């Protein structure tokens, strides 16, 4: 009896996971992708609700939208990386690691500054938590995925 090996068809999702170096690496890129897309959408298309929730005042609309442009752009770039390959994308991940470290530092110092004492300001820990998650994930990407992203 002859046995023939049939080629296993790979799906788009399995190719994406394989290009990332496995499920954990894929998820490490997926997390900041989803976070960036969420906050980008929130800042650009739900601006008034975001400003009210964060208690930062109507005068901040322009800066909120600028931040939303950055976040949405990053989310789109990460989504493209997920659908193609993170190979050679070290510059984007390095930039985002530095950005996340700065974001964490300034979120913490702002939360503990005189600004947080102004009436009407809602100084939450959300920016500290978000930037911390993004920083940890990017440190993982920069170290564990170095063989892929520096290719």
pLDDT in tens, 110-119: 999 998 888 8
**Contact status, residue 86 vs residue 19, Cβ threshold 8 Å:** yes
pLDDT at 59 over 80: yes
pLDDT digits (tens, 9 = 90+) for 92-105: 999 999 999 999 99
- Tell me the average pLDDT of the chain: 92
For residue 44, which of 24, 57, 63, 23 has the smallest C-alpha distance? Answer: 63
Q: Which residues are CB-contacts of 69 (< 8 A; sequence separation ≥ 6)? A: 40, 44
What is the pLDDT averaged over residues 51-68? 92
pLDDT level of residue 2 (50, 70, 90 thresholds)? low
pLDDT at 1 over 60: no
């Amino acid at each position: 009896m002859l046995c023939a090996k049939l080629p296993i068809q790979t799906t788009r999702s399995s190719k994406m996971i394989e290009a990332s170096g496995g499920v954990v690496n894929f998820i490490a890129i997926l997390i900041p992708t989803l976070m960036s897309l969420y906050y980008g959408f929130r800042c650009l298309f739900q601006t008034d609700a975001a400003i009210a929730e964060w208690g930062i005042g109507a005068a901040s609309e322009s800066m909120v939208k600028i931040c939303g442009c950055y976040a949405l752009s990053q989310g789109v770039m990460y989504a493209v990386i997920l659908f193609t390959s993170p190979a050679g994308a070290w510059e984007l991940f390095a930039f985002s690691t530095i950005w996340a470290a700065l974001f964490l530092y300034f979120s913490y110092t702002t939360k503990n500054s005189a600004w947080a004492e102004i009436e009407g300001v809602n100084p939450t820990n959300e920016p500290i938590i978000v930037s911390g998650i993004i920083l940890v994930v990017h440190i993982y990407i920069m170290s564990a995925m170095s063989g892929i992203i520096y290719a």
